[in-house]
Amino acid sequence: MKVTVVSASEFGKFGFSEIRAESVTSADARRLLLFTARNPEEAVLDAVSLRTLRGGMQTVFEDGPKRDRRLWLGELLFQARANCVSYRNYGLIKRSLYLLSGTANDQAWWPPVSSSTRNWYEGGDRILDFTAAT
């Protein structure tokens, strides 16, 4: 959150107190599969990885909810795989695939990027389905 003070009295003070922020995600920590780390470095890496994945789990998998808020086909595979062994939110994978497949062209090529926001954006380029390369 950024606050810009446009105008204020030269005689008064301006400030905030008791500020709160809430994070929104579709990740359910109650469904989280726990990972047993072999050393402290693995434990830190796991915690950071889960926090990063959780931040991108919105109505579909997003590339950082603070950045462009788009679903990228190339990252969906990795996000879906990580989700399957951690948060297990399979409905999110399904919604992400539906969003991308809904924008496929007549040759069944998916766009590399899509967005579910009001301002619909569909990437102009088309690429082969990622499962063909795996």
Would you state the pLDDT for residue 2?
A: 76
Q: Which of 18, 34, 29 is nearest to 57 (CA)?
A: 29
CA dist 110 and 91 (Å) reads: 20
What angle, 0 to 180 degrees and rounded to 10, lies between the N-to-C axes of helices 40-56 and 73-84?
A: 120
Average pLDDT, the chain: 80
Predicted local confidence at residue 64, as pLDDT: 64
Q: Quick one: 100 exposed, middle or buried, by C-beta within 10 A (0-12, 13-18, 19+)? A: buried
Is 17 among the domain residues?
no
% of the chain residues with pLDDT over 70? 79
Region 18-30: what's the mean pLDDT? 83
Please provide residue 57's backbone torsions phi and psi, each rounded to the nearest 5 degrees.
-90, 95
The pTM assigned to this predicted structure is: 0.70
Could you tell me which residue, 81 or 118, shows the higher pLDDT? 81
Residue 4 lies in a domain: no
More confident residue, 133 or 76: 76
Contact 115, 108 (CB under 8 A): no
Look at residue 49 and tell me if it is in a domain. Answer: yes
44 in any annotated domain = yes
Pairwise pLDDT comparison (36 vs 106), residue with the higher score: 36
Q: pLDDT at position 133, please?
A: 47
Interval 7-23 mean pLDDT: 75
**Section 78-100 average pLDDT:** 93
pLDDT band at 66 (very low <50, low <70, confident <90, very high): low
Residue 111's SS3 state is coil
Domain membership of residue 122 (yes or no) is: yes
| Amino acid residing at 91 | G
Phi (first) and psi of residue 61, to 5 degrees: -70, 125
In sequence order, what are the beta bridge partners of 71? 114
Asked if residue 111 has pLDDT above 60, the reply is: yes
Q: Is residue 14 part of a domain?
A: no
Total structural domains within the chain? 1
User: Could you list the residue range(s) of the whole structural domain that residue 81 is in?
Assistant: 29-132
Residue 16 is assigned to a structural domain of this protein: no
**Is 111 among the domain residues?**
yes
